Amino acid sequence: MSVFEQKARQILGKADIEIGGNQPWDMQVGNPRLYSRILRQGSIGLGEAYMDGWWDAEALDQFFDHLLRTRINRREPWLQKWLLTTLATLTNRQSFARAFQVGEEHYDLGNDLYEAMLDPTLAYTCGYWKDAKTLEEAQIAKMDLICRKIDLRKGQTVLDIGCGWASFAKFAAERYGAKVVGTTVSKEQVVLARKRCEGLPVEIRLEDYRDTKGSFDHIVSIGMFEQVGYKNYEVFMRKAASLLKEEGLFLLHTIGGNRSEVRTDPWIDRYIFPNGMLPSIKQIGASLEDVFVMEDWHNFGADYDKTLMAWHANFQAAWPTLAPKYGERFKRMWEYYLLACAGSFRARKNQLWQIVLSKRGVPGGYRSLR
């Protein structure tokens, strides 16, 4: 047994993960070079080795649940961590010049992939499973909850920053009679979103939030803030405030982290969400000062575990039709993404927040809805 393997077994053992064990979360190793690769490269090495077929686990979501509960993920190679943190500090990786990169590399992968993986609403954010039995029910419940939280009325205007395939825009227009402007940085999303909203009072724009103009009764941003970046949080908030009418409400729906960071996981950054990062409570709070009044803060992060597992089940079921276009290495990358994230939410490392904001405070107080 090599020194690298001994060290890997020691570290994983603290998370109750056994190499070659019989539990669903145990690691099965197919290439002995894995150990040195992980210890030298951290999360990049772990993820790329999985994509290359060097290791597996019967239940990858459980593997990450065990791994992340012990905070082993913080033990990155120090040089890699220092370089990535320095890069994030010295540069603005979410600048206007980079705004469309995530659209091109992630959301433009192919509408066929997302139509197969998501439910019929095409919502690509956490569902609300309080009373839901299916993924579609959970997504409809989430969108209805948002409409109720902002007290959406017929004929009111709503700006949806990061509208995706228009799941919320379509829902708000059909169910609540709202007039919606949706913005996205993905060309593929624009094409399908416009098609889905034909005949509805919905306008879909291909633009970065910094370019948006208008005046709106309410604003929502559902699963887009993760691409804003800590250097731009205050810019984002001040832009939203400039677009929101005085008595309006702004609902921010975002994944959040338990500690303040200036970068994201290196593997996620390279393969899934380039230039993304998760905000912390502290970072969001600082960006709100002298801009908004925080009316309500709702955490239902555990629901993202169920959502991701449902997406994974859909993806696996649809794979025979997707395989010729995407290939086996993509399959392993995508299932690693979905199941690693599910494990992260299950371990409560990541959260899902819905934050309701007003410009001057709701007269008499805001009534929280759940």
Q: Which residues are catalytic?
A: 341
Tally the C-alpha atoms within 13 A of residue 132's C-alpha that lie toward its C-beta.
21
Classify residue 364 by burial, with Cβ atoms within 10 Å: 0-12, 13-18, 19+: exposed
Inter-residue contact 267 to 46 (CB < 8 Å): yes
**Closest residue by Cα to residue 48 from 33, 65, 58:** 33
Inter-residue contact 142 to 216 (CB < 8 Å): no
Diameter of the chain measured on Cα atoms: 69
H-helix segments, the chain: 3-13, 34-41, 43-51, 60-69, 78-90, 101-102, 111-117, 135-149, 167-176, 187-196, 233-243, 266-271, 281-288, 302-346
Instruction: Report angle CA 185, 150, 293 to the nearest 5 degrees.
Output: 90
CA distances from 198 to 136, 164, 190, 201 (A): 21, 16, 12, 8
Contacts 24+ apart (CB under 8 A), 149-153: 149/249, 149/251, 149/296, 149/354, 149/356, 149/369, 150/218, 150/220, 150/248, 150/249, 150/250, 150/251, 150/356, 151/249, 152/176, 152/178, 152/218, 153/177, 153/178, 153/217
